[in-house]
A = this chain, B = another copy of it.
Amino acid sequence: MSKHAKEMGVLKDHLGKHQLKFTRQRELILDAFLKQEHITAEEMYHQLARKDPHLGLATIYRTLNLFCEAGLAQARHFGTQTQYDNISHKGHHDHLICTGCGKIVEFENCDIERLQEEVASRNGFTIQTHRLELYGLCSRCRH
């Protein structure tokens, strides 16, 4: 039994409900995707080039978008590229970014996350993932 049996089930379920087919490529891409916390289509294209040199970039895009529809992934625009987040990955962290020197500090805050849930449910939303970035100056750059 595969390490990713649960997610594979979610995918097959989605495929079944939408008259879509289970293909070698979709399986390959899902396996690779689930090993990451987040990835871009281009990155995955290069990663998989060894396993299957003929796998097309368009197929990667299509498949990652399929994962979004199936609820396995979450697309996020980061700079000019689209990043696909692995929803099943635990331990999402947020960032403090120094606009002076570019230093990045990661943090996690349960209270903030709880309040986010509150805001979401008040608006009828169910959160899948989030992005929180605080921009400012670190102590060294403040002078």
Chain A: residues with CB nearer than 8 A to chain B? 68, 71, 74-80, 96, 98-99, 105, 107, 109, 111-112, 115-116, 119-120, 123-139, 142
Contacts and interface: CB of A to CB of B under 8 A. Distances in A.
Nearest to A100: B69
Given A96-B123, A115-B112, A126-B142, A135 B76 contact: yes
B133 A130 contact: yes
The quantity of this chain's copies bound in the complex is 2
Nearest to A112: B115
B74 A77 contact: no
A132 B115 CA distance: 12
A76 B78 CA distance: 9
24 contacts: A75-B99, A77-B77, A77-B80, A99-B128, A107-B119, A109-B115, A109-B119, A111-B115, A112-B112, A112-B119, A116-B134, A120-B136, A123-B138, A124-B138, A124-B139, A125-B136, A125-B137, A126-B136, A126-B137, A126-B142, A130-B133, A130-B134, A131-B131, A132-B133
Contacts of A99: 68, 71, 74-75, 128
